[in-house]
A = this chain, B = another copy of it.
Amino acid sequence: MTTDRHDNARGADPLPSWNDGVTKRAITDFVKNTTTEGNPDYVRVPDRIALFDNDGTLWVEQPMYTQLAFLLDDVRKLAPQHPEWNTTEPLRFVLENDLAGLAAAGVPGLMKLLAATQCGMTTEEFAKTVQAWIETARHPKFERLYTQCVYQPMLELIEYLSANDFEVYIVTGGGTEFVRPWAERVYGVPMRRVVGSSLETKFEMLANRPVLIRTPEINLIDDGNGKPVGIHEFIGQQPIAAFGNSDGDLEMLQWTASGSGARLILLVHHTDSERE
């Protein structure tokens, strides 16, 4: 029997930020059932896989995706070395703060920004750029670090599931390489359990050192239809729990729900008061 692990040592509420109600009860029932040997819904430890979307589920996604804020900051930071950007679209939209022009440029426009700023470098250099930004950049409305704009109830849920031997993955439309550098520190999720969008990388020897160079070619858009693709590629087996907040999570939730046995599927709606 493993039921003694469902709550912490003092038997305290493992989800103190959650209102008592149907949702909280569904979660704790699911965890009790899947982790109690002899229960018809029992799931052995290697199959306890839980997925969390990131933007809007674990941290804020308004007024814009955090990774977009990072990209725009990167364009502004590098612009002084590239005077030609002032007359090149879509780069000039960023420098002129023309968000409507940028939106009209769509995904191809964003890929051009990416190619100009965050490609052609090693994966190591990119990780350092992410680290430096995430440690200083602040959310425009909340005026706190983005990593402080995470939802406390979800942190509790990650911890609760982990304490019950679930392997927790972040499955994000954002970049794998954007989330990995801080995922363990902020969410307690190790780098290798971050499944996200990615660019192709290319192996090279640089001054006798092997490196991976980020290319502007898309490897995977891990959103919508792409989420089950990423989940299957990285994990290879059906998850038993999934948490999302938007249309881009629909296929991930369907994919998770389609397996046999007990499943926990949750579409979360946050209010600002839940932030950490």
Q: Within 8 Å of chain B (Cβ to Cβ): is A209?
A: yes
- State how many copies of this chain the complex holds: 2
Contacting pair B46 A210 (CB below 8 A): no
| Contact A192:B234 (CB < 8 A) given known A210-B254, A210-B255, A251-B203 | yes
Contacting pair B236 A194 (CB below 8 A): yes
Q: Within 8 Å of chain B (Cβ to Cβ): is A237?
A: yes
Q: What are the 5 closest A-B residue pairs judged by CB atoms, nearest first?
A: A191-B236, A203-B225, A192-B235, A210-B254, A180-B236
Which residues from B are CB-within-8-Å of A236?
176-177, 180, 191-192, 194
Q: Which residue of B lies closest to A191 (CB)?
A: B236
Q: Within 8 Å of chain B (Cβ to Cβ): is A157?
A: no
Q: Mark A179-204, 1 if CB is under 8 A from B, else 0.
A: 01000100000111010001011110
C-alpha gap A203/B248 in the complex (Å): 13
B-binding residues in A (CB < 8 A): 46, 123, 176-177, 180, 184, 190-192, 194, 198, 200-203, 205, 209-210, 212, 219, 225-226, 228-229, 232-237, 251, 254-255, 258
Contacting pair A209 B123 (CB below 8 A): no
Which residues from B are CB-within-8-Å of A225?
202-203
Contacting pair A229 B209 (CB below 8 A): no
Which residues from B are CB-within-8-Å of A251?
203, 210
Contacting pair B237 A192 (CB below 8 A): yes
C-alpha gap A61/B189 in the complex (Å): 37
A221 to chain B, nearest CB (A): 12
Which residues from B are CB-within-8-Å of A123?
232
| Contact A198:B233 (CB < 8 A) given known A225-B203, A228-B203, A228-B210 | yes
Contacting pair B201 A232 (CB below 8 A): yes
Can you offer 26 A-B residue contacts whose CB atoms are under 8 A? A46-B184, A123-B232, A176-B233, A177-B236, A180-B236, A191-B236, A191-B237, A192-B234, A192-B236, A192-B237, A194-B236, A198-B233, A202-B225, A202-B229, A203-B225, A203-B229, A203-B255, A205-B254, A210-B251, A210-B254, A210-B255, A210-B258, A212-B229, A212-B232, A219-B233, A234-B234
A30 to chain B, nearest CB (A): 21
Q: Which residue of B lies closest to A209 (CB)?
A: B258
C-alpha gap A184/B236 in the complex (Å): 12
Contacting pair B201 A229 (CB below 8 A): yes
C-alpha gap A138/B210 in the complex (Å): 39
The listed residue (B46, B203, B228, B237) touching A212 by CB distance below 8 A is B228
Q: Which residue of B lies closest to A204 (CB)?
A: B225
